[in-house]
Amino acid sequence: MTAPALSVIIPAYNEADYLPRYLPTVTASLARWEETTGERGEVIVVDNASTDATAKVAADHGAQVVSEPVRSIGRVRNTGARAAAGRMLFFVDADVALPLEGITAAAASMTAGAVGGAIPPLYTPRRLGARMLCAYWDHHRARHGGAQGVTQFCTTDAFHAVHGYRPDLFMSEDMEFFARLTEHGRATGGPVAVLEDLRVRPSTRRYDAWSSLRMFWWQNPVIVRLGLSSPRLWRNWYTTTVR
């Protein structure tokens, strides 16, 4: 069997209830790309010290499962990249629904010369305050050329060239990674591709379960820029995620 050309990497902590809902959108998107190109892909779920059946559920849905015991989202993504065999890497969160053409479009952009890129998220929380907060961050992303980590992709060569995600950051590690990826692209003549014509749909579980005031506290520009490497500051964000 030929080696996979593209590796999908999914960090997962206690996602047993959500993987059956969202993982099929990933496998369907990967299957569409495989049908279009004749190449093969793989799905790697990185089980980040889950206390539920995340690993079993992922394996039952056909994913390769690797383990990362240290609770650090950057470290988890890096662990997935080390296990990956593809020349292209596609990172997506465990509670994100991919459009059918998502992986095909991402791979096509890298084949055409992009070092990587992202598919922007479309959040649809129930409360107005949460929707306004999401709109602010989408505007900030578009204005400053960033990309949230719910769905990012890059060539394996580019990933190694920028040394992956910073494992010491507990928030904004995705934006920091994308900034370095963008600089690498400028230096090497390969652009980053933000696929604005597509949207992924993340779960709004935290926005719907937490008050708008609580979400604003954790996601306002001041707090986001303070103590990014402090596990103590961000412990509630990591340990009280709605499951």
Residue 178: closest CA among 195, 159, 196, 197 = 159
pLDDT recorded at residue 135: 72
With respect to residue 50, please indicate whether it lies within any of the assigned structural domains.
Answer: yes
With respect to residue 201, please indicate whether it lies within any of the assigned structural domains.
Answer: yes
pLDDT recorded at residue 227: 64
With respect to residue 1, please indicate whether it lies within any of the assigned structural domains.
Answer: no
With respect to residue 224, please indicate whether it lies within any of the assigned structural domains.
Answer: yes
Which of 28-32, 54-58, 128-132, 154-158 has the least mean pLDDT? 128-132
With respect to residue 234, please indicate whether it lies within any of the assigned structural domains.
Answer: yes
- Asked if pLDDT for residue 205 goes beyond 70, the answer is yes
Q: Percentage of the chain with pLDDT > 70?
A: 80
Kindly indicate the confidence band of residue 123, based on its pLDDT and cuts at 50, 70 and 90: confident
Q: What is the pLDDT of residues 132-159, one digit of tens each?
A: 766 766 666 677 666 676 899 999 999 9
**Residue 129 lies in domain:** 6-239
pLDDT recorded at residue 1: 73
Q: What is the pLDDT of residues 212-229, one digit of tens each?
A: 777 666 666 666 666 666
With respect to residue 198, please indicate whether it lies within any of the assigned structural domains.
Answer: yes
Residue 118: closest CA among 161, 97, 159, 148 = 148
Question: Looking at residue 121, which CATH number applies to its domain?
Answer: 3.90.550.10
Kindly indicate the confidence band of residue 242, based on its pLDDT and cuts at 50, 70 and 90: low
With respect to residue 63, please indicate whether it lies within any of the assigned structural domains.
Answer: yes
* R_g of the chain computed on alpha carbons: 17
Average pLDDT, the chain: 88
pLDDT recorded at residue 128: 76
Residue 132: closest CA among 74, 230, 188, 212 = 212
pLDDT recorded at residue 220: 64
- Asked if pLDDT for residue 197 goes beyond 60, the answer is yes
Q: What is the pLDDT of residues 4-22, one digit of tens each?
A: 999 999 999 999 999 999 9
pLDDT recorded at residue 211: 73
Indicate the number of domains in the chain. 1
pLDDT recorded at residue 114: 98
With respect to residue 184, please indicate whether it lies within any of the assigned structural domains.
Answer: yes
HEC per residue, 164-230? CCCCCCCCCHHHHHHHHHHHHHHHHCCCEEECCCCCEEECCHHHHHCCHHHHHHHHCHHHHCCCCCC
Mean pLDDT of 184-204: 93
